[in-house]
Amino acid sequence: MEEMGSDCSSSEVQELHVLAVDDSLVDRKVIERLLKISCCKVTAVESGRRALQYLGLDGERSSVGFDELKVNLIMTDYSMPGMTGYELLKKIKGSSKLREIPVVIMSSENVLTRIDRCLEEGAEEFLVKPVKLSDVERLRDFILKGEEKNEREFSHKRKMSDDSCTLTPSSLASSPSSSDSDLPSSSDSDLASSPISMSIVSDEPRPKRARSLDDN
């Protein structure tokens, strides 16, 4: 009987892009099928080196044509020739560009020291094969919640930054002007008795002076 997954035809279902790495063709097809049932876009490669090429960590451009697609999750087998899943994990976590991508290690061997080493290096989870649909769906929900949380935090920080840099007209109107509040007020009698006013009414011609703001 075929396993039932999410309704991928619904517009509300968010599609995740998963990079699956396994040297076994059979295991690779199984994980690819489970991911597609869970409404995930899958890119499957056969080795750690191929995964690095796809991610752009080996200095070469991938030939599969999906370079620019964001990868939300990486699932890799542990025991692979050439480069193990643990070595691939270290490469990814050592990259400032890719270290935030969750990495899940899969293995047919339940070796505690191997599990601990991968988790300490930054693996999100260690799955013992055979991987089940419930494992994939749980991972999918976990990744989606993390994506939504990151988006909320980013939006909040951006809003706080915008608010701190914006001055509203009301705030400008309510703030006292230094040019008005700091100047002492003078009455007409004070001006008439001042030396400056006496010089103005003398018979000598008044010199021309520069225009000031008070002349407007």
Query: What does the buried/exposed string (b/e) look like for 15-33 if buried means 16 or more CB atoms within 10 Å of the residue's CB?
Result: ebebbbbbbeeebbebbbe
Instruction: Quote the pLDDT of residue 154.
Output: 58
The more confident residue out of 70 and 40 is 40
* DSSP secondary structure code for residue 213 in this structure: G
With a cut of 80, say whether residue 113 has pLDDT above it.
yes
Instruction: Find the mean pLDDT for residues 152-164.
Output: 67
Q: What is the pLDDT of residues 13-26, one digit of tens each?
A: 678 999 999 999 99
Judged on CB neighbours under 10 Å (0-12, 13-18, 19+), 133 is middle
Q: Which of 16-25, 141-150, 174-183, 192-201: highest mean pLDDT? A: 16-25
With a cut of 70, say whether residue 205 has pLDDT above it.
no
Instruction: Quote the pLDDT of residue 14.
Output: 73
Domains in the chain, please, with CATH? 16-156 (3.40.50.2300)
With a cut of 60, say whether residue 27 has pLDDT above it.
yes
- Please state which of the ranges 44-53, 68-77, 129-138, 180-189 shows the lowest mean pLDDT: 180-189
Query: Are the C-beta atoms of 47 and 21 separated by less than 8 Å?
Result: yes
CA–CA separation, 134 and 103 (whole Å): 17
Portion of the chain with pLDDT greater than 90, in percent: 52
Question: % helix / strand / coil in the chain, to the nearest 5?
Answer: 45, 10, 45
Instruction: Quote the pLDDT of residue 127.
Output: 97
With a cut of 80, say whether residue 136 has pLDDT above it.
yes
